[in-house]
Structure 1
């Protein structure tokens, strides 16, 4: 098998079970039913917390039930429990819930474990100022990449995202970079879910991920120009933390600042070098 055939095979997702739900929940449920350590009530409570996003900060019981797929009575009990424990906050005036301080404390605890942020931040600042765009670190959360660090430049025009922002894994440079370096099993699992999503243009999604994989093999970085949002361009590079956590870095901003020529011949190589320096600083160089 030649190099091109191997590359194509790496992107051939497993065949979809016609009965499988888009998010793979049916398969997870079957596996969980066999696992005596799995606590369904706890899982439902955590799924309820996932309904909240930076763009959706307050939700009522009906909205939570719709988003989680759980019965409203179950949502009422779970939300009440989470509110008593401080993970949700109830607003009697509008009968809606929002994320409580308890979740914030867990988030900071998780971020504190990502020591790479402290090491990378000065190098990220240097690149951000050179590019006049922001630089970020992200980790995977299902079909998204979540920023765990974000450094803006002093440029008057920038793309404001910030820590905690969720970006689609399939169409962003940081998501494609993550997938480019992922194991075949993880990559195929993600592609399997994307292929089953009727809302996405699967042939275009797959082509973009395949092209990004080739770019990574040949140049060490992946590019996205207008694939996620019109007028937004970025370059991404994968990285594995010393504890084995897979993540990725990106540098992105307005396309009129980061045209293809600059991305491919300036910012891309600089981001690769920056990630290499981060690796050397943490003993991975």
Structure 2
């Protein structure tokens, strides 16, 4: 899900701040406009998605292409993400020491439950998977590292919300309300339900809500005394993962995995 800044002109740009570089911000908005599975976008599409005037988009795409962050297809007259973005992504992942610590614990749970286990981090109104471990059983959905899923309608997203402080959560929920006022009543109800589940069980549930055939449990990972919040989920086919299995089996096992990861992080001298 992409949430553009919608800067139609300077009057709708963010408040004046002498330290804020608008050109840089607009360039980053263009890069964010590329969604999962969308290889090529043209200047008109990028302008529509970001609200940046098309002449400005043309200059930005030219510059980003010269720097290697975009690749231009002359036949299509469109752009795709370039190797520069991939290099930045790998550097980010390489610096996420939690992945190395979490992976063996996640894979063990995936193998013993035949479920998909994912570690995610929030980016605006979506969760981005930074590590995914698959079980050996049949997969309903194959999501990989880099996949983005909505926060409000998924177990992992709502678990992330549960990990926030009350002021942080209130601020984020207000952003969601302003973004989707017509759907807010239903969205708010599911979020309230997840907050209650977390208080009761120590994890959140999603039973065919985001995808009809998928059910999951999820738990927040509160790192560095709340400086960073991530989340873990465990999911699979709804036909196999009924309510009792989620509550009595997968939820407690995922909670144990989270506790082991946090304990190992506390003893990691590099963090």
TM-score, structure 2 as length reference: 0.91
Q: CA separation of 1:90/1:158 partners in 2, compared to 1, >3 Å: closer, same or farther?
A: same
Asked if residue 263 in structure 1 is aligned to residue 246 in structure 2, the reply is yes
| C-alpha distance in 2 between matches for 1:267 and 1:104 | 34
Match of 1:120 in 2: 102
Asked if residue 131 in structure 1 is aligned to residue 113 in structure 2, the reply is yes
Offset, 1:160: 0.4
Offset, 1:23: 7.2
TM-score, structure 1 as length reference: 0.86
Alignment of 1:147-226 (within 5 A): 147-198=129-180, 201-226=183-208
SS of alignment partner, residue 266 of structure 2: coil
What's the RMSD between the two structures over aligned residues? 2.1
SS of alignment partner, residue 54 of structure 1: coil
Offset, 1:157: 2.8
Number of equivalent positions: 262
Offset, 1:281: 0.8
Offset, 1:240: 2.1
Match of 1:111 in 2: 93
Match of 2:64 in 1: 82
Asked if residue 69 in structure 1 is aligned to residue 51 in structure 2, the reply is yes
Of 229, 232, 238, the residue aligned with 1:246 is 229
**1:31-72, Cα deviation, whole Å (9 max, x unpaired):** 943421100000000000001012212101111111111111
| C-alpha distance in 1 between matches for 2:129 and 2:58 | 31
Offset, 1:30: 8.2
SS of alignment partner, residue 233 of structure 1: strand
Alignment of 1:21-60 (within 5 A): 32-60=14-42
| C-alpha distance in 1 between matches for 2:257 and 2:199 | 18
Asked if residue 281 in structure 1 is aligned to residue 259 in structure 2, the reply is no
Match of 2:128 in 1: 146
Asked if residue 95 in structure 1 is aligned to residue 108 in structure 2, the reply is no
Offset, 1:257: 2.0
| C-alpha distance in 2 between matches for 1:165 and 1:240 | 21
Q: Answer yes or no: is the 8 Å Cα contact 1:177–1:221 preserved in 2.
A: yes
More displaced 10-residue stretch of structure 1: 37-46 or 107-116: 107-116
Moved over 6 A (4+): 22-26
Q: CA separation of 1:23/1:43 partners in 2, compared to 1, >3 Å: closer, same or farther?
A: closer
Q: Which runs of 5+ in 1 are unaligned?
A: 1-21
Asked if residue 272 in structure 1 is aligned to residue 255 in structure 2, the reply is yes
Q: Answer yes or no: is the 8 Å Cα contact 2:120–2:131 preserved in 1.
A: yes
| C-alpha distance in 1 between matches for 2:72 and 2:63 | 11
SS of alignment partner, residue 252 of structure 1: strand
